[in-house]
Structure 1
């Protein structure tokens, strides 16, 4: 009698969970609100820059240091919380983060000084470092891979919406009740959201969808992080995020002051301009991300649909950044400023999408944290460097020009690197992962 043998286990695909569409879109709405608050918190210092600098008699270099302090722990906390996400639920993580946002606004309400501004911004940065990546991770738990582009766009759209809403509202609070009132209101709003999320936010059914061993999005064998992080797709996604983050950090820290001091705009006009730029970014997000889904449904590779889209967006923004300081006419200059600071919105959700396609679900939160942590490093450098350049130049205008040209160079290099390295299908194959075209996944 032949000896009994056991066939090697076959990789099977787990049944697709039944989606709760109503709950999925409720979670989406909460996460969009989360991002609105997140970016309102980020923007408040820049919107209040002129009155704070006047009241505390701050130099450009000192203000730049305070602005950069937001990023002292930003990337590190993004990395650490990314790894914690493999053990803690998104409900707990987002709740704790938002409570810390509220606490971070309080020191400057007690004593307005450089140390309290620094302390508040450092704590806020540590609490917001994981915000975008972890909220995206939480959102992905409620949608299958082929349905993530629109929710992703809405999540990042919350960032644009946050700036769009915050610019006029925070400016009005500052002008009507003083800049401290904006900090107090944002602390209260953050605390309220945390309580609502604790009651409503739960992890979704797609946390372990497609659980076949080795499948992208599955819970099969974990891959060494060295292998994951050395793929062109992950490196290109980091490059895309890096270029976008350089412009984004300048937008938060220096764009309001630049519009007010160099273009002679009133606080209200500067706030309106920033809102229009954010609105442009939001329109791009809501237009491009569904188009990416449609392209994938027609069989277009992720390299050319989501990879090329984010790379080209960073390059276009970099070209506009290099051009607008040399344009004298007001309308063309404002148009180029809008392109420089608004077009980068496309890169933010798409670099998460491309990274997710070459990472198992069990490691996605950690890799998102790494991508976000490395991709947002410009925030540690760009605001402070800009302050030094302005103080060292013959005139503030010359300093701003040098700062914007530096940003343009970084963005163009990052965009080209992303364009040449992001290839999710190739990298998934090399890692032995089951990369399914989106039309087959339906």
Structure 2
């Protein structure tokens, strides 16, 4: 096993190779399909948070039960990460993501017909299983199609769907819910998933299965480490030998925890703590979530700009992750102390911008520090830590609201977690992973 190598500022010169028009066109299609699938992915996740007031009343749920429902998705999503990563590294993105799209669309449709909390939890568990390959698969697609020093930006563009969809979800899903009902909202979202599934199966191919020139394929692979001769769960066990793997696992907990605090509870927070109507909460929730979209997109441009200045790709992804988490924690705590609803919304917007910069660059980090044939598995290990954060955030928030009658303790806790995980990325992800 090679020792971890430093990833600080190094002498690094980006490639000036010019790719063929065919490669450029197929890259645009691949990233476009990922963005579309990612938007549907997050719309499906957000549907329960938007429908929470009506689901709460119709199914007669307590805040604690709502917290359990909101966290059910994240538990199954997290537990499925490593199996999904090994499937992606073994069978490729086209087949694995295609199966995942079908499963999660069926799960979203099934929520239309639930009549009890237990049925709803089963639907959300199935949704988590189906969505588990999405973002680790997207990173693998970008690794397959882009050279090492060019991956941060396309990963950020695709990852920006995790900010764009939550920004669109509150007004769009609220409108669908008020116009047709919350059950019909789930039905429409499920059908949209099947539409994207058809596009993915028809249009996406790995570069080796297209007419991309051999010179382009060679350039894409030129800077990569040698492939690792491990497959399946042996990859995950091998990756756990590296301190950087553990730093990413623990650090990404904070990225997803603070993001899911807002993704699952922001509309309810604006309604109960800031006394907004359902329609008004749907509108104002979109403002910080839109800031999150620009943060996710901006993370890619920040990393690319650092690479152009001679910073190594690993450091160019690591430092924005650290700074983003530290800033997100500070803004979240400040928002909890504000007495003005519009100031609080502005501070939450800044916090989500920073958190999504960290998310975008954190997602790109495995693609620039590990061999291509273990990227999806490394992403999966990192995202298991994130999924634990995503599962605990809505559950702990619901429990704190029930116990304290206020969102303030939940916001302060999320800020502390985010700050601590920023420090974990700072000190725990300094090494590269190589065979």
User: TM-score normalised to the size of structure 1?
Assistant: 0.86
Deviation track 1:380-409 (CA, whole Å, cap 9, x = no partner) reads: 22211221221122xx22xx1121121112
Does structure 1 retain, via aligned residues, the 8 Å contact 2:37–2:196?
Answer: yes
Deviation track 1:292-318 (CA, whole Å, cap 9, x = no partner) reads: 212212212346422111111111111
Matching of residue 327 in structure 1 with residue 338 in structure 2 = yes
Q: Which residue matches 1:409?
A: 416
Deviation track 1:33-58 (CA, whole Å, cap 9, x = no partner) reads: 01100100010000111111012211
1:109 corresponds to which of 91, 106, 112: 112
Q: Which residue matches 1:3?
A: none
Residues 18-417 of structure 1: matches in 2 within 5 Å?
A: 20-205=23-208, 216-219=224-227, 221=229, 225-226=236-237, 228-302=239-313, 304-393=315-404, 396-397=405-406, 400-417=407-424
Q: Alpha carbons of 1:225 and 1:93: their partners in 2 closer, same or farther (altered >3 Å)? A: closer
Q: Alpha carbons of 1:92 and 1:221: their partners in 2 closer, same or farther (altered >3 Å)? A: closer
1:357 counterpart SS class? helix
Structure 1 or 2, whichever has the larger Rg, is: 1
Does structure 2 retain, via aligned residues, the 8 Å contact 1:174–1:181?
Answer: yes
Larger helix proportion, structure 1 or 2? 2
Between the aligned partners of 1:420 and 1:101, the Cα distance in structure 2 is 37
2:227 counterpart SS class? coil
Between the aligned partners of 1:319 and 1:353, the Cα distance in structure 2 is 24
Between the aligned partners of 1:149 and 1:356, the Cα distance in structure 2 is 8
Shift of residue 347, structure 1, vs aligned partner: 1.5
Unaligned runs of at least 5 residues, structure 1: 1-14, 433-442
Does structure 2 retain, via aligned residues, the 8 Å contact 1:74–1:126?
Answer: yes
Between the aligned partners of 2:49 and 2:23, the Cα distance in structure 1 is 40
Does structure 2 retain, via aligned residues, the 8 Å contact 1:216–1:361?
Answer: yes
1:376 counterpart SS class? helix
Matching of residue 422 in structure 1 with residue 429 in structure 2 = yes
Between the aligned partners of 1:306 and 1:210, the Cα distance in structure 2 is 19
- The number of residues matched between the two structures is 408
Does structure 1 retain, via aligned residues, the 8 Å contact 2:148–2:224?
Answer: no
Shift of residue 284, structure 1, vs aligned partner: 2.5
Shift of residue 211, structure 1, vs aligned partner: 5.8
Between the aligned partners of 2:329 and 2:198, the Cα distance in structure 1 is 40
1:172 counterpart SS class? helix
Shift of residue 420, structure 1, vs aligned partner: 1.9
Q: Which residue matches 1:12?
A: none
Shift of residue 234, structure 1, vs aligned partner: 2.9
Unaligned runs of at least 5 residues, structure 2: 1-16, 209-215
Shift of residue 228, structure 1, vs aligned partner: 3.3
Does structure 2 retain, via aligned residues, the 8 Å contact 1:141–1:207?
Answer: no
Q: Alpha carbons of 1:379 and 1:282: their partners in 2 closer, same or farther (altered >3 Å)? A: closer
Between the aligned partners of 1:345 and 1:114, the Cα distance in structure 2 is 31
Between the aligned partners of 1:389 and 1:279, the Cα distance in structure 2 is 27
Between the aligned partners of 1:362 and 1:126, the Cα distance in structure 2 is 22
1:328 counterpart SS class? coil
Does structure 2 retain, via aligned residues, the 8 Å contact 1:163–1:274?
Answer: no
Shift of residue 220, structure 1, vs aligned partner: 5.8
Between the aligned partners of 1:111 and 1:372, the Cα distance in structure 2 is 29
Q: Alpha carbons of 1:331 and 1:106: their partners in 2 closer, same or farther (altered >3 Å)? A: closer
Between the aligned partners of 1:211 and 1:170, the Cα distance in structure 2 is 42
Q: Alpha carbons of 1:144 and 1:70: their partners in 2 closer, same or farther (altered >3 Å)? A: same
Q: Alpha carbons of 1:343 and 1:291: their partners in 2 closer, same or farther (altered >3 Å)? A: closer
2:89 counterpart SS class? coil
| Structure 1 stretch displaced more, 60-69 or 143-152 | 143-152
